[in-house]
Amino acid sequence: MVNTEDSWISSRTGIRERRIAAADETASTMGVLASREALAISGLPPDSLDLVIGATCTPDHIFPACASLVQDSLGAKKAAAFDINAACSGFVYALATACQFIAAGSYNNVLVVGSEVYSRILDWQDRSTCVLFGDGAGAVVIQASDSPSGPFSFILGNDGSGAGTIYTPGPCGVNDGRYFITMKGPETYRFAVNIMCQATKEVVAAAGLDLSDIDLIIPHQANTRIIKSAARLLDIPLDKFFVNVDRYGNTSAASIPIALCEAVEEGRVKNGDRLVMVGFGGGLSWAAMLIEWAPGERTPQT
């Protein structure tokens, strides 16, 4: 459909595979599937959830929120629900929000789900965007704990003067050229590399740690060249970065939770490991969080 070939895509982006949602799939239906898996792993029944936070910029509707549809499908009848749109930084924004509700003592059990269907807002004749983005969803359950917590910090940032660098001017799924994603590639690349380095350094310093104390960095999966450039500028070995963009492409707010889940499944994350999750995207937005991995005890099913 465009003047390109596989070798051009893989050499410039590192992307070799992507997933595209079926016609009857949406951000909410994919979010429900990811959420059910997260709940099953946690052992938490849906009616124990206090809050569902969705991270998406490709919701099923302008309103109601994607999180509202997920909440209903799960049967989480006691949970409040709302969405956060911070583009590709959205999952870390949502995770930070969930942590604040728990730290304040307001809620004990929060589901955070990142889900995107970027294929619905792509111009398949635009080589600068259509080769990059894919669809997907990932979810985590955050719970209050009486155990002492390890190092923790987060930073959120935004520079609205760069809003025209990458944006979509209309609602998802209209299938109209006026509403396709638009991106200035070179400007986006420079922003991404610089802000990934800056945000990683800031969030590590905020936790009172050094970069050498970090066991794994889980970055937004936008492009392998961005990740490699950031690793070089941070002077951190590339094997300390978890990378799966080759299998999924850029899934925006879903990319970090998908990568986190795969890192855990592959044994790349162990109890006590210190992780940095760092995202960047439209807004121009950025977010980073440092945590010490401490999966909770499974809650018995009721």
Query: Given the structure tokens 């060249």, which residue do they identify?
Result: 225
Does 300 reside within a domain? no
Of 143, 167, 192, the position where a domain reaches its end is 143
Task: Tell how strand 216-219 and strand 274-281 pair up.
Answer: parallel
Does 148 reside within a domain? no
Does 71 reside within a domain? yes
Q: Looking at the structure, tell me whether residues 159 and 282 fall in a common domain.
A: yes
Q: Nearest-5° angle of CA 44, CA 87, CA 127? A: 125
Q: Is 61 considered catalytic here?
A: no
d(CA 100, CA 144): 11
Q: Looking at the structure, tell me whether residues 106 and 137 fall in a common domain.
A: yes
Backbone angles phi, psi at 127, to 5 degrees: -65, -25
Mean pLDDT per 10-residue section of the chain, whose length is 302 residues: 87 93 97 98 96 96 95 98 97 98 96 96 90 96 86 96 88 64 90 96 98 98 95 96 97 98 95 96 96 69 32
Of 108, 143, 178, the position where a domain reaches its end is 143
Q: Looking at the structure, tell me whether residues 164 and 197 fall in a common domain.
A: yes
Q: Which residues contact 173 (CB under 8 A, 6 or more apart)?
A: 58, 60, 117, 120, 121
Q: Looking at the structure, tell me whether residues 44 and 112 fall in a common domain.
A: yes
Which pLDDT does position 301 carry in this prediction?
A: 36
Does 302 reside within a domain? no
Which pLDDT does position 2 carry in this prediction?
A: 85
**Ramachandran assignment for 248, one of left (phi > 0), alpha (psi -120 to 50 degrees), beta (any other):** alpha
Q: What is the CATH number of the domain that holds 57?
A: 3.40.47.10
Q: Looking at the structure, tell me whether residues 133 and 185 fall in a common domain.
A: no
d(CA 19, CA 192): 23
Give the domain extent around 89.
Answer: 6-143
Q: Looking at the structure, tell me whether residues 200 and 129 fall in a common domain.
A: no
Q: Looking at the structure, tell me whether residues 190 and 251 fall in a common domain.
A: yes
DSSP β-bridge partners for residue 219: 278
Q: Looking at the structure, tell me whether residues 128 and 173 fall in a common domain.
A: no
Query: Given the structure tokens 């940032």, which residue do they identify?
Result: 157
Which pLDDT does position 274 carry in this prediction?
A: 97
Query: Given the structure tokens 């121009």, which residue do they identify?
Result: 284
Catalytic residue among 57, 66, 88, 172: 88
The domain total for the chain is 2
Q: Looking at the structure, tell me whether residues 75 and 131 fall in a common domain.
A: yes
Catalytic residue among 66, 109, 197, 220: 220
Does 112 reside within a domain? yes
d(CA 140, CA 263): 13
Q: Is 220 considered catalytic here?
A: yes
Q: Looking at the structure, tell me whether residues 16 and 59 fall in a common domain.
A: yes
CA atoms within 13 A on the CB side of 17: 5
Q: Looking at the structure, tell me whether residues 110 and 172 fall in a common domain.
A: no
Does 80 reside within a domain? yes
Q: Looking at the structure, tell me whether residues 168 and 288 fall in a common domain.
A: yes
- pTM of this prediction? 0.94
Which pLDDT does position 300 carry in this prediction?
A: 37
DSSP the chain: --S--HHHHHHHH---------TT--HHHHHHHHHHHHHHHHT--GGG-SEEEEE-SS-SSSSS-HHHHHHHHHT-TT-EEEEE--GGGHHHHHHHHHHHHHHTTS-SEEEEEEEEEGGGG--TT-HHHHTTB-EEEEEEEEE--SSPP---EEEEEE-GGGTTTEE--S-TT---GGGS-EE-HHHHHHHHHHHHHHHHHHHHHHTT--GGG-SEEEE--S-HHHHHHHHHHHT--GGGB---HHHH-B-GGGHHHHHHHHHHHTT---TT-EEEEEEEETTTEEEEEEEE--PPPPPPP-
Does 67 reside within a domain? yes
Does 231 reside within a domain? yes
Backbone angles phi, psi at 27, to 5 degrees: -60, -40
Of 77, 111, 143, the position where a domain reaches its end is 143
